[in-house]
Structure 1
């Protein structure tokens, strides 16, 4: 582990302990690659004792398009909630809402399995899907202008994850999928076929090769949320957020 990785991890850990956003000035050039940022993620997770079971059981993964590099982050289990959730006790600096579909692995996936996996057969590894709400947050004072690598190092700006009721995964026409997001007393926002990757399962091979890159298998039951259908919508403390995906389910959280 490099001194730069240790330095960024130490700042993020202190920010989490103090519930105070940290100043990113002077840190912007310390991380030179996504692998540096992932090393920070892993160091923070080890130091905070989030992943004592080994491979994290909850993940976020996604990207702006199929041609872009996807990014991934293991999520602290203490900030994963079942819907209807009450997140009023979470010390958020920001409350940005992403409406997503989460998938659950039906079996263990080894590094060999992940290496051979194609986009076409990735869905065969999934036994469940649910509506998820990701609350995007940051430990950096300069967010959202912080550099992409510092955001990635900060668990890709993760705050909390809310999971709805699970249902069996089935193939569907995701281009016709509708999503409605209600935040507080605001007008509902509607979206249709708006996932950047097109299909929530498309990114599974890339995510699984990332998770297994150091030789560990990904256990059955691991959950990954697969990218936003609504961009990032701003919410305020005290808002109730409800997300409905027609035919998939719903989730809600009180902020």
Structure 2
């Protein structure tokens, strides 16, 4: 059995059994990010998550513009419109990221993705919405699992909740305000805290990743673009609501 076989089986079992597995013994099985992406693809194929060449929903991002951005396709059964009820869904943990998701206005070919600059990226987008990424893990170590194992595990994806889309427009993202409400805790406010400074900045990197094997990314594909609030802890039973001034809101019942 190959190393990728071993990791694929471990993740498939964790999804199926709702039981995280120990990452430590598997930590050395992935030599690089491409191997982690290959495991993503194999888990998706064996789970039958996608019925199209390019999945419709993605997560992408990184801690800084200088870091290597990471990407993951999101299973449709775990992408929900707001308001969402996730009270009957299984999660090993519930960590909350407040984000802005972007929707492509047109198809993007590999050649177009290769030539795309950060300055021109926003021209590809026709809509945006508030999104809530529920972070979860199939690894028992969760937060401390090796980065490549997290990447193989859909970059710790749990579920994505999408608010109503509205037309995309240029903004001063450094002044953008965001409020996160989790259960009965005091609301937390943030301003200009998106890690890349502009949600659209990652589009060239993400699109080159998605098109690297020759696929065209269809119009209407959605990518959520990174947290504004870090990772906030939530519990089963909490109502989570995220509001971005001038963009909208999203909420999910856990």
> What is the Cα deviation at residue 51 of structure 1?
1.3
Q: Indicate the structure with greater helix content.
A: 2
SS at match of 1:201: helix
Aligned to 1:198: 197
Aligned-partner Cα distance in 2 for 1:52–1:164:
24
Deviation digits for residues 89-125 of structure 1 (CA, Å, limit 9, x no counterpart): 2110100000000000001100001000000000000
Structure 1 distance, partners of 2:69, 2:88, is 31
Q: How does 1:165-244 map to 2 (within 5 A)?
A: 165-244=164-243
Structure 1 residue ranges without an equivalent (≥5): none
Counterpart Cα distance in 1 of 2:220 and 2:123: 14
CA-CA distance at 1:48 after TM superposition: 0.6
Deviation string, structure 1 residues 36-85 (Cα, Å, up to 9, x no partner): 10000000111111112111110000000000000000000000000000
How far is 1:24 from its partner? 1.4
Gaps of 5+ in 2: none
* 1:25 CA displacement: 2.6
Q: Which residue of 1 aligns with 2:137?
A: 138
Q: TM-score, normalised by structure 1?
A: 0.99
Task: Note the alpha carbon deviations across 1:154-195, whole angstroms, 9 max, x for none.
Answer: 000000000000000000000000000000000000000000
Residue 11 of structure 1 aligns with which residue? 10
How many residues align structurally? 254
1:108 aligns with 2:107: yes
For 1:150 and 1:48, the matched residues in 2 are separated by: 18
Cα RMSD (Å): 0.8
Secondary structure, aligned partner of 1:55: coil
Bigger mean CA deviation after superposition, 2-11 or 20-29: 2-11
What corresponds to 2:245 in structure 1? 246
**Cα shift at 1:26:** 1.3
Cα distance in 1 for residues equivalent to 2:89 and 2:154: 16
Runs (4+) off by over 3 Å: none
Could you tell me the TM-score, scaled by structure 2's length?
A: 0.99
